[in-house]
């Protein structure tokens, strides 16, 4: 069984790339692969290039330096990611000291400015607090501070706004945008929130059943989605800028079992636009518009009146 299959993409400095899809589509496993954190008995094949270096060929010492120094990951649940019996300030200091980019004194001196950078009020006093004394939004900000403390060139954010209220989500979005701009860091944002992608990302990658089914510039994907899955995702959410009162589209069925994938296109059991070819042949990921790729035999631009069929 392959949790992800044939994934290939690149991220440039200062760019924010969104990876979207339903639960189980392979988003988090893709991110863990970049850091060689895939749990046993999982195995990574292919190449993961960071500049000229292949992450899969790094020694244990090199990969430890790579994690945190060059690439950092903000995990989904900050409450389980932070040690509940250690003070927040100490954990951020430890993250810097562990990678030896800063001396012990430099790490201690940087803790308060890091918390101030992520807009935690009264940072000098809050460094002595334990994680349970922080609200959900503040814990997420503390995790972001820990992630960027070593000034990585790539930041991976796995569902950074899950379980946060709308106002806190907005502040986290703005924070990630500012950090990308200030550090010229590349950001990979893993989410199922298309609205979050629209407000933050330069490019978007849509995943389904462990495969990339569409990718391209965010504006192009939102304006002219070509894969039926992307089209359905976008039309399953209410939009404030819609003049008419169109019905929301529901995606029928459930994602497939990765151990028993259907033949042909993996989305065809749930696709309202499928043709006979979809049942037997899996389409390649091919260019459908400039800089836009899709994995489909029936592109949405070739479907007459798709709204009428939904």
This prediction's pTM: 0.89
91 and 223 co-located in one domain: no
User: Among the three residues 164, 183, 201, which one is the final residue of a domain in this structure?
Assistant: 201
pLDDT at 283: 96
Using CA atoms in the order 139, 26, 14, 124, what is the torsion angle rounded to 10 degrees?
10
pLDDT at 244: 60
Is a pLDDT exceeding 80 seen at residue 242?
Answer: no
pLDDT at 37: 92
142 and 76 co-located in one domain: yes
pLDDT tens digits, 83-115: 999 999 999 999 888 877 788 888 899 999 989
Do 76 and 159 touch, CB atoms closer than 8 A?
yes
In a domain, residue 142? The reply is yes
- Of 73-82, 139-148, 193-202, least confident by mean pLDDT is 73-82
pLDDT at 193: 82
pLDDT band at 169 (very low <50, low <70, confident <90, very high): confident
pLDDT band at 279 (very low <50, low <70, confident <90, very high): very high
SS3 sequence of the chain? CCCCCCCCCCCCCCCEEEEECCCCCCHHHHHHHHCCCCCCCCCCCCCCEECCEEHHHCCHHHHHHHHHHHEEEECCCHHHHCCCCCCHHHHHHHHHHHCCCCCHHHHHHHHHHHHHHCCCCCHHHHCCCCHHHCCHHHHHHHHHHHHHCCCCCEEEEECCCCCCCHHHHHHHHHHHHHHHHHHCCEEEEEECCHHHHHHHCCEEEEEECCEEEEEEEHHHHHHCCCCHHHHHHHCCCCCCCCCCCCCCCCCCCCCCCCCCCCCCCCCHHHCCCCCHHHHHCCCCCEEEECCEEECCCCCHHHCCCHHHHC
Mean pLDDT of 143-153: 88
58 and 155 co-located in one domain: yes
161 and 211 co-located in one domain: no
pLDDT band at 227 (very low <50, low <70, confident <90, very high): very high
26 and 113 co-located in one domain: yes
In a domain, residue 3? The reply is no
pLDDT tens digits, 68-83: 889 988 887 767 788 9
Rounded CA gap, 221 and 223, in Å?
6
256 and 122 co-located in one domain: no
180 and 48 co-located in one domain: yes
- Of 181-185, 187-191, 287-291, 295-299, least confident by mean pLDDT is 181-185
Is a pLDDT exceeding 90 seen at residue 245?
Answer: no
Closest Cα to residue 31, out of 61, 80, 64, 72?
A: 72
Domain count, the chain: 2
28 and 162 co-located in one domain: yes
pLDDT tens digits, 36-54: 999 888 899 999 999 889 9
Per the structure, the complete domain to which residue 220 belongs is given by 206-309
Mean pLDDT of 253-278: 93
264 and 182 co-located in one domain: no
22 and 103 co-located in one domain: yes
57 and 76 co-located in one domain: yes
């Amino acid at each position: 069984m392959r949790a992800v299959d044939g994934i290939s993409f690149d991220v440039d400095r200062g760019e924010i790339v969104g990876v979207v899809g339903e639960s189980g589509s392979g988003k988090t496993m893709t991110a863990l692969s970049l850091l060689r954190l895939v749990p046993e008995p999982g195995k990574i094949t292919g190449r993961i290039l960071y500049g000229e270096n292949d992450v899969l060929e790094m020694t244990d010492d090199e990969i430890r330096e790579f994690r945190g120094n060059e690439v950092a990951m903000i995990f989904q649940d900050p409450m389980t990611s932070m040690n509940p019996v250690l003070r927040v300030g100490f954990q951020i200091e430890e993250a810097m000291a562990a990678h030896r980019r800063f001396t012990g004194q430099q790490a201690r001196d940087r803790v308060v400015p890091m918390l101030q950078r992520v807009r935690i009020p009264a940072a000098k006093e809050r460094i002595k607090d334990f994680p349970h004394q922080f609200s959900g939004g503040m814990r997420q900000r503390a995790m972001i501070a820990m992630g960027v403390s070593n000034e990585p060139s790539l930041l991976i954010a796995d569902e950074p706004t899950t379980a946060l209220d709308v106002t806190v989500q907005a502040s986290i979005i703005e924070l990630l945008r500012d950090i990308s701009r200030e550090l010229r860091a590349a950001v990979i944002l893993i989410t199922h929130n298309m609205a979050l992608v629209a407000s933050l990302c330069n490019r978007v990658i849509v995943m389904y059943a462990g495969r990339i089914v569409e990718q391209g510039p965010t504006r192009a994907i939102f304006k002219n989605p070509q894969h039926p899955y992307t089209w359905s995702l976008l039309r399953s959410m209410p939009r404030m800028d819609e003049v008419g009162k169109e019905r929301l589209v529901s995606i029928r069925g459930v994602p497939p079992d990765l151990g028993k994938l259907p033949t042909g296109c993996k989305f065809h059991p749930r696709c309202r636009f499928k043709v006979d070819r979809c049942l037997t042949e899996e389409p390649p990921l091919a260019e459908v518009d400039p800089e836009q790729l899709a994995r489909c035999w029936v592109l949405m631009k070739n479907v007459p009146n798709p709204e009428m069929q939904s």
